[in-house]
Homo-oligomer: A and B are copies of this chain.
Amino acid sequence: MAVRAHTGRRVGDSGTREAILTAARRQFAALGYDRTSMRQVALEAGVDPTLVSHFHGSKQKLFLAVIELPFSPADVLPELLAGDPQEIGVRLARFVVGVLESEQGRSRVVGLIRAASSEPTAAGLVRDLITRELLAPIASGLGADDADYRASLVASQVVGLAVARYIVAVEPLASRDPADVVAALAPTLQRYFTGDLGGR
């Protein structure tokens, strides 16, 4: 199916999809989940509003189509989880800091955290994405006792680093050398993955 956009340009399926996703990505980031509407996305994309529903069904589905992890878990997790289990903390700390130090990685992580912090619907969708794509595979790869709890503790420190260093920019953490931050975090992540968690 080819459609005529409001602008009179004739665009194919892929062009239409891309225009919708670009507009949706911009509006979700700028306005948040609640204030973004399918109609305004269609307007910015220059397509008929019915097409947004046609391609994406609902606002929730549209949001899910544009929130993205800054990497492909299938490419990254096997390597992180394989190798010496006693070095998984430093491997993950290096990976996380590497992602957050890159412009594109940081902007996607910050976008996810902003969406999750501002609105319950978005928080639920981000939580489901992270649980399904990251925490569950990590927990199953660990195979440890309490693996899902361990994965969620790891998430708490990773999210906290992103907020404190890159969003709120608490000093001196914000301007500290990345290698120092990796060194400081690695033992925390290692203990959450394989160490004694106390309690019970």
Contact = CB atoms under 8 A, between A and B. Distances in A.
Interface in A133-149: 135, 148-149
Interface in A148-185: 148-149, 152-153, 155-161, 163-165, 167-174, 176-177, 179-180, 182-184
How many copies make up the complex?
Answer: 2
Secondary structure dominating the interface of A: helix
Nearest to A117: B117
Contacts of A56: none
Contacts of A197: 180, 183-184
Nearest to A146: B172
Interface of A: 32, 113-114, 116-118, 123, 126-127, 130-131, 135, 148-149, 152-153, 155-161, 163-165, 167-174, 176-177, 179-180, 182-184, 186-188, 191-192, 197-200
7 contacts: A116-B163, A116-B168, A118-B118, A153-B184, A155-B160, A157-B160, A159-B164
